[in-house]
Structure 1
Amino acid sequence: MSSATHTSLAGQPATLTIDSDVVGGRAVLVPRGDLVHGCADTLAGTLALLPDGIDRVDLHMSDVAFMDTTGLRFLEVLDTYARRCRIQVSATGWNGQPRRVLETAGLDPDDPLHGPGTRREAVPSTLVLERAQELDRLRTEVEQLRQAIRTRPVIDQARGVLMATHACSSDQAWDVLREASQLSNTKLRKVAAAVAAGAGGDGPTPSPELRRALRTAIDRCLN
């Protein structure tokens, strides 16, 4: 078992590592971390180190926690490698947010390289427009998720408050925060800060608009 880690041009380690194991003619790769800028280079470097005689490469993606639109380039690298070397490849086991990104991009999250949505066919202009709108919404969600990662402590506090107050799951609490952010046109971290501060009883009172958005989000996501 070996591991590859990409280092950015700034000299900082990337947030993705790839463990590899080769048995016979099959290579099993296990990426861990985030599919963000530099992830395609990490995969290309790992594939380049595989020994000759490989006839199949399987990626287990269950340990990938986050993916932005550059993660689609990660799949392109794998597909190009398969075509060039004339071998079988797969990338399965997608969970959570990365799975939703693939669904929004029109790919089959169970088999994004071979499932429905991967064929390059002519599509009606109305479908093209719908896909462009979906991608716009995806970019907005990705930016919100990036903000959430940078402010994870306050996000986690807010999710904990909602989970304790409403007996909901962590995913449901996240949906409430995101919905309230969109309804009130308020940055996600500010919504989370208001929820976390309000639990202590001595924090600033949220604006009437944000209070209404939170009530609506709770009704939509938890009822």
Structure 2
Amino acid sequence: MTTAARAPRDGRAAPLTVGVRAEGGRVRLQARGELVHGCADALAEALTALPPGVCRVDLDAAGVVFLDTAGLTALRTLSEYGRRHRVPVGATGWHGQPRRVLELMGLDPVDPLSGGLPAGRSGATASAVARERAEQLDVLRLEIAQLRHAIDSRPVIDQARGVLMAAHACTPEQAWDILREASQRTNTKLRQVAAAVTASAAPDGTPPPEPLGSALAAAVRRVSTAARAPRESCDRSPARAGRAAG
């Protein structure tokens, strides 16, 4: 048997299903989807439909992908069923975001019902979800800042690559390797390395400061040597030697 939560207005199935599997007196409830508003009703319906003589009820939460403040209500529904019918209950299989929320709430992420569910934790649940979302927002803000920095840095980096390509007859990829290697050698941000290269190409420009200048020169030599090696190897190949001897 499967019970689906129903949206309060349009009757469409909400993103949660509760499957029921009974083996003897043990019942296993398999929850799939999101534990959000209205989902406690779906769990209550599944529990109400259980036959008499049940000796244990376990909720398998491995299929739960999101948990919000309604999650505690669902767990309390299961806990109250156990008290009314005097049967042990459990809720295991938590992972990902739901497990993180349980940890923030101070509950056992393996089985939050194992030690008994404290009363009056709705505020704590809301706080836990708020902290979870705040952490996710911080990560997104950092990614946005990094993307903006990359966009702002792109023009000067492209200019520096053009300067290196003209000065050393290298490819765009080789120019990139030179900038990156100089950045790593001197622990200097790539944008600063590119700005120094671009500034040095101006009519009244000055060479990059040390040790950046030495690092750039070393990177140019390494890239040039690496580019010559395949050509020299081809020049010394047996096929070419045979043709030259003939």
TM-score where L is the length of structure 2: 0.52
User: What is the rounded CA distance, in whole Å, between the counterparts of 1:85 and 1:137 in structure 2?
Assistant: 31
> Corresponding residue for 1:105?
105
- Measured against aligned partners, the alpha-carbon deviations of 1:113-164 in whole angstroms (never above 9, x if no partner) come to 123x8457xxxxxxxxxxx79953632534x6xxxxxxxxxxxxxxxxxxxx
Q: Is the 8 A contact 1:104 1:135 kept in 2?
A: no
Deviation at residue 95 of structure 1 after TM alignment: 0.4
Match of 1:138 among 114, 129, 138: 129
Structure 1 SS opposite 2:62: coil
* 1:25/1:56 contact within 8 Å kept: yes
Measure, in 2, the Cα distance between the counterparts of 1:178 and 1:55: 44
CA deviations 1:23-80 (Å, max 9, x no partner) are: 1101111000000001100100000111111110011111100001210111000000
Residues 178 and 67 of structure 1: CA distance in aligned 2, closer, same or farther (over 3 Å): same
- In structure 1, give the amino acid aligned to 2:129: L
Counterpart AA for 2:140: S
Across the aligned residues of Structure 1 and Structure 2, the Cα RMSD in angstroms comes to: 3.2
For 1:13, give the aligned amino acid.
Answer: A
Structure number, greater radius of gyration: 2
CA–CA distance in 2 between the matches of 1:118 and 1:77? Answer: 10
Show the counterpart of 1:209: none
CA contact (8 A) 2:69 2:125 kept: no
* In 2: Cα distance, 1:140 partner to 1:3 partner: 33
The answer to whether the 8 Å contact 2:56/2:88 transfers is: yes
The answer for the alignment partner of 2:4 in structure 1 is: 5
- Any gaps of 5 or more consecutive residues in structure 2? 155-246
Distance in 2 between residues matched to 1:70 and 1:8, nearest whole Å? 14
Are the structure 2 counterparts of residues 54 and 178 from structure 1 closer, same or farther at C-alpha, using a change threshold of 3 Å? same
Contact 2:79 2:117 in 1 (8 A): no
CA displacement at 1:12 relative to structure 2: 2.2
Q: How many percent of aligned residue pairs carry the same amino acid?
A: 43
Q: Report if aligned partners of 1:56, 1:89 keep a CA contact under 8 Å in 2.
A: yes
Name the counterpart of 1:153.
none
Q: Structure 1 stretch 133-142 or stretch 94-103: which is displaced more?
A: 133-142
| Pairing partner for 2:140 from 173, 181, 203 | 181
Q: 1:26–1:139: structure 2 CA closer, same or farther, 3 Å change rule?
A: same
Residue identity in the other structure for 1:100: R
SS in structure 2 of the partner of residue 61 of structure 1: strand
Count of matched residue positions in the alignment of Structure 1 and Structure 2: 148
Is the contact between residue 68 and residue 125 of structure 2 (CA under 8 Å) also seen in structure 1? no
Q: For residues 86 and 133 of structure 1, what CA distance do their matches in structure 2 show?
A: 27
Q: Distance in 2 between matches of 1:24 and 1:138?
A: 37
Compared CA separation, residues 5 and 134, structure 1 to 2 (3 A): closer
Distance (whole Å) between structure 2 residues aligned to residue 98 and residue 17 of structure 1: 16
Rounded to whole Å, the distance in 1 between the matches of 2:82 and 2:43 is 13
8 Å Cα contact 1:105/1:135 also seen in 2? no
Q: Does 1:79 align with 2:70?
A: no
> Structure 1 counterpart of 2:12, which letter?
Q
* TM-score where L is the length of structure 1: 0.57
